[in-house]
Structure formats: structure tokens, C-alpha cells
């Protein structure tokens, strides 16, 4: 009875209206992006804005192509994506383990609580020089930055999720004589999957922030390095090209997490 032919004329009209609306929104979104770039190009060519400090899309494109021809584009992209994914993975896993420890022992959680709150509000950029002294400039310090920016939020969000599980579900497990480990693996973890995905969504963005800041402070590769280097030699085309690529990378990472969410969270809507 749900076949397409079975629908009434009004319902088909309704569906078409929705489809048209969605398509219009998409078209306008793309048009908006294109017109910003076109306007930027025209404004620079006509001299409405100073090309030297704003660059323009065609020159940014050339800068990107030059990087590609020199074989450096993939290296820089690879560094940034690799550092982010590494920092994000380690940060998330360590964050979930720490959240589990806090859930396990309320006593430990009470002791650590003020420190976690303070660490959360400390700007992680301030830790950059420390990481560079300890780990040297390069990959290790950048990954440490990415972990530092994402781990605290992961701990807080996931621990909160663990604590907010319906106590009756835990009572039910206890009536069967379940051990604390069984309660953790059979209730707490599966019930917290949506929370953990939500934490991933936040921490993937924060890891990227940490990575870029780390690359700013001390590195020889990555989009953050390109942006700082381009700024120092006043090559704004290189800076703009790197910023646009960074936007694409961040959208891509977010999309990957959203994809994971759709795969995993099937039963929790």
C-alpha cells in the first residue's frame, strides 16, 4: 500500500514540492560560494581591494597548482590530516579510558573534578612551548597539541554520558548479580554510544585546531606551516590557498564522523 502508484495526487504534489525546495536550497548554497569567489576576483582585478593583501582566487589557485607541481601539496595535506587523525584517535581513546576510570571510582572522580574543570578552561595554546621543549619541533609536538586540545572535552562529555545512564538499568543488572565489569560492558558502553559519537564530533574539530596551532608554533610541514610561512614572506596567495584547503579538510573529517554515526547509531533514535 506504500507503493508509489498508491499515493494520491496531493501526496505526490507534496513530495515534489519538498524535492524542489531541497534542490533550490542546494543550488543557492553552491551559487553563494561561487559568487563570493567571483566577486573577490572582480574586486581584486578592478582595484576595489588591494591584491597584495587580499590576493585573489585565480592567484591562490596558481599557488596551489605550484605546490602540486613541486610535489609538496600532498605532503602538507598528509601531515595535517595525519596529525589530526592521530591526535584525535589517541585523544578520544585515552579520553574514554579516563572517563571509564572516573565512572568506576566516584571517589577518584571527586578528587580530580576541580583539576579537570581548570584544565578545560586553560587555553591549550599556552602549552605549545612546553611541548616543543619536551618533544622538539615537528610531528610529536603537533600531535601532543592535538591531543591536549581534544582530550579534556572528550573526558567531560563521555564521563557525563556514563553518569547519566538510567540507574534502573544498572539495578536490573545487579538483580542478576552482575559484576561492575559486566555492568560496564553490557550497559554503560552500549548505552553511551550516541554520547561517544557526539564527543567525537566535537573532538575532531578541536584536534584540527590543536594540529594547526601546533604547526604554527613549530613545524616544517602541514597547512598550518604553509599559512604561517606564507604570512611571513607576504605570499597571501599561498595563505589563502592553504586556508581554503583547510576548510575542505575540516568538512571532510566532520563528514567522516557523521558517516560513522549513521553506521553505528541505528537503534538509538
Asked whether the beta carbons of 242 and 228 are under 8 A apart, the reply is no
The DSSP result for 18-39, as a single string, is HHHHHHHHHHHHHHHHHHHHHH
Q: Which stretch binds another protein (CB under 8 A): 127-135, 176-184, 200-208, 210-218?
A: 176-184
- Name residues whose C-beta falls within 8 Å of residue 41's C-beta, 6 or more positions apart in sequence: 56, 57, 58
Q: Does 174 bind another protein (CB under 8 A)?
A: yes
Phi, psi of 208 (to 5 degrees): -65, -40
Of 188 and 217, the one with the shorter C-beta distance to another protein is 188
Residue 159 to residue 155: CA distance in whole angstroms? 6
Told to check if 173 binds another protein by CB under 8 A, we report yes
Smallest separation (angstroms) from another protein to the CB of 269 = 9
* Interaction between residue 182 and another protein (CB under 8 A): yes
Q: Say whether residue 187 binds another protein (CB under 8 A).
A: yes
- Closest approach, Cβ 197 to another protein, in A, equals 13
How far CA 67 is from CA of 70, 75, 180, 209, 216, in Å, comes to 5, 10, 55, 23, 19
Nearer to another protein by Cβ, of 120 and 164: the residue is: 164
* 113 near another protein, rule: CB under 8 A: no
Of the candidates 222, 199, 192, the residue with the CA atom closest to the CA atom of residue 91 = 199
User: 193 vs 198, which CB is nearer to another protein?
Assistant: 193
Asked if 198 touches another protein (CB under 8 A), the answer is no
Should residue 70 be labelled a site residue for another protein when binding is judged by CB under 8 A?
Answer: no
Record the cell numbers describing residue 171, joined without a space. 539495578
- Which of 171, 262 has the CB closer to another protein? 171
Please report where in the chains the cell 614572506 appears, as a residue.
233
Summarize as ranges the residues that interact with another protein (CB under 8 A).
166, 168-169, 171-178, 182, 186-187, 190-191, 193, 267-268
Amino acid at each position: 500500500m506504500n507503493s508509489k502508484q498508491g499515493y494520491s495526487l496531493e501526496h505526490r504534489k507534496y513530495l515534489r514540492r519538498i524535492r524542489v525546495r531541497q534542490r533550490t536550497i542546494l543550488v543557492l548554497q553552491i551559487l553563494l560560494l561561487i559568487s563570493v569567489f567571483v566577486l573577490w576576483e572582480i574586486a581584486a582585478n578592478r582595484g576595489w581591494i588591494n591584491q597584495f593583501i587580499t590576493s585573489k582566487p585565480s592567484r591562490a589557485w596558481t599557488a596551489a597548482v605550484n605546490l602540486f607541481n613541486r610535489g609538496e601539496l600532498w605532503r602538507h595535506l598528509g601531515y595535517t590530516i595525519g596529525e589530526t587523525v592521530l591526535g584525535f584517535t589517541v585523544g578520544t581513546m585515552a579520553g574514554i579510558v579516563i572517563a571509564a576510570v572516573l565512572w568506576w571510582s566516584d571517589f577518584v572522580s571527586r578528587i580530580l573534578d576541580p583539576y579537570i574543570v581548570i584544565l578545560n578552561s586553560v587555553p591549550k595554546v599556552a602549552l605549545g612551548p612546553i611541548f616543543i621543549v619536551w618533544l622538539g619541533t615537528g610531528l610529536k609536538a603537533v600531535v601532543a597539541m592535538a591531543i591536549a586540545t581534544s582530550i579534556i572535552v572528550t573526558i567531560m562529555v563521555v564521563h557525563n554520558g556514563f553518569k547519566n545512564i538510567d540507574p534502573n538499568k544498572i539495578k536490573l543488572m545487579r538483580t542478576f548479580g552482575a559484576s561492575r565489569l559486566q555492568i560496564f560492558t553490557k550497559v554503560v558502553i552500549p548505552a553511551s554510544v550516541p554520547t561517544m559519537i557526539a564527543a567525537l564530533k566535537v573532538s575532531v574539530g578541536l584536534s584540527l585546531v590543536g594540529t594547526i596551532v601546533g604547526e604554527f608554533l613549530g613545524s616544517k610541514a602541514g597547512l598550518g606551516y604553509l599559512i604561517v610561512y606564507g604570512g611571513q614572506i607576504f605570499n597571501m596567495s599561498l595563505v589563502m590557498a592553504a586556508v581554503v584547503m583547510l576548510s575542505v579538510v575540516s568538512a571532510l573529517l566532520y563528514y567522516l564522523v557523521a558517516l560513522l554515526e549513521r553506521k553505528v547509531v541505528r537503534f538509538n533514535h
